[in-house]
Amino acid sequence: MRVLVVGHGPVAGVLATSMATGHRVGFAVRERTAESRLVGTRRLRTARRVERRSVELVTAGERATGWDMVISTASPASPGVAELLGQSPIVAAVTQVPSEVELLRELAGDRPWGLVVPEFFAGGADPTWWWPPARVRFTVAGPASASLRSLFTHPRWSRTAPLWAPLVSAAATMPVVAGLHAEDFDLTAARRSSRRLAAAATQARNAVAAEFGAPAPRPVSPHAVRVALAVLPRLAPFDVPHYLRGHFGGHGTQTLRMLRDWVELGRRHGLPADRIEDLLERVSA
């Protein structure tokens, strides 16, 4: 298959290098990125026109025709991404933001579409690192699940889940990330608000479950949040606060969009969302 990956960040890197070698991979990047890459690296300059190593570089905004599948690691709402997603028979994105999932579904229309959700922490550029390495790398969901799974070199690098699963799962973890954001990624300070963060996560999970038809989720326990915040830095073989600040600090808009979506879904389904609203206020402050 000819697969166009939108973006060139860590997730795009893990995705592309997890695909079986028979697939031909292209990256769609913004014009300014293409320019710096083309000036800076001979490898990519060559790759742009000649498919050496089966990699092509496409500039977002160029016509991106002839791809069997487009997978966006950028938000489907980001400028130019909808156009890229508009042209291939199968479309997918890594997003777990409810309104972006709805946008993807809308853009897909009658075409098969899906989510490819990372099950790891990834960072770096060249080379990209990810952790933990020896386990499932992506959860795939949606009508295009079978095609998405067929991309990976090993069947164990991906698993299929119902659409609601990665969205409910993000609703458990991302309120904690939002809490870290509000505390400038100070894990000790965030641990002190475990109770409030768990309450926001429980409301977010209920809102997402109601919208996407999931079974009633279990409440998130404050103890689990406290333990996760204490244990993660001890287990992970990288500087967790540095990673969190670098990655999520740069994705604040996405975190806010998620919080707003959960409030909106909670209201739509007549569910309480006051704890998410409190968190939203703290993150926006």
Angle in degrees, CA 25, 28, 30, rounded to 5: 160
DSSP-assigned beta bridge partners for residue 71: 5, 92
Please list every residue from 149 through 178 that binds ligand NAP, using CB under 6 A.
none
Q: From the CB of residue 252, how many other CB atoms can be counted at a distance below 10 Å? A: 13
Q: Which is nearer to ligand NAP, 145 or 254 (CB)?
A: 254
Q: Is 122 in the site for ligand NAP (CB under 6 A)?
A: yes
**Cβ 100 to ligand NAP shortest distance, Å:** 9
**Cβ 184 to ligand NAP shortest distance, Å:** 19
Residue ranges in 145-239 assigned as alpha helix (H): 145-149, 164-182, 187-192, 194-212, 222-235
- Contacts with ligand NAP by CB under 6 A: the residue count is 26
CA distances from 128 to 4, 93, 115, 116, 125 (A): 19, 20, 21, 18, 5
Among the listed ranges 35-43, 73-81, 150-158, 230-238, the one in contact with ligand NAP (CB under 6 A) is 73-81
**Cβ 274 to ligand NAP shortest distance, Å:** 26
Return the H-helix or E-strand segment holding 11.
helix 10-18
Name 135's Cβ contacts closer than 8 Å, sequence gap at least 6: 119, 120
For residue 114, the SS3 value is strand
Q: Which is nearer to ligand NAP, 41 or 223 (CB)?
A: 41
Q: Which is nearer to ligand NAP, 13 or 222 (CB)?
A: 13
Binding mask 75-94 for ligand NAP (x = CB under 6 A): ---xxxx------------x
Please list every residue from 7 through 46 that binds ligand NAP, using CB under 6 A.
7-12, 28-30, 33
Residue 104 to residue 85: CA distance in whole angstroms: 8
Q: Which residue is nearest to ligand NAP (CB)?
A: 9
Residue 281 to residue 275: CA distance in whole angstroms: 10
Q: Is 200 in the site for ligand NAP (CB under 6 A)?
A: no
CA distances from 58 to 33, 40, 126, 186, 206 (A): 11, 16, 19, 39, 40
Among the listed ranges 43-51, 114-122, 156-164, 261-269, the one in contact with ligand NAP (CB under 6 A) is 114-122
**Cβ 75 to ligand NAP shortest distance, Å:** 7
**Cβ 73 to ligand NAP shortest distance, Å:** 4
- Token code pair at residue 157: 């690098």
Q: Which is nearer to ligand NAP, 81 or 199 (CB)?
A: 81
**Packing angle, helices 164-182 and 240-249, rounded to 10:** 110
Please list every residue from 211 through 250 that binds ligand NAP, using CB under 6 A.
247
Please list every residue from 250 through 279 that binds ligand NAP, using CB under 6 A.
251, 254
Among the listed ranges 6-14, 172-180, 187-195, 267-275, the one in contact with ligand NAP (CB under 6 A) is 6-14
Q: Which residues bind ligand NAP (CB under 6 A)?
A: 6-12, 28-30, 33, 60, 73-74, 78-81, 94-95, 118, 121-122, 247, 251, 254
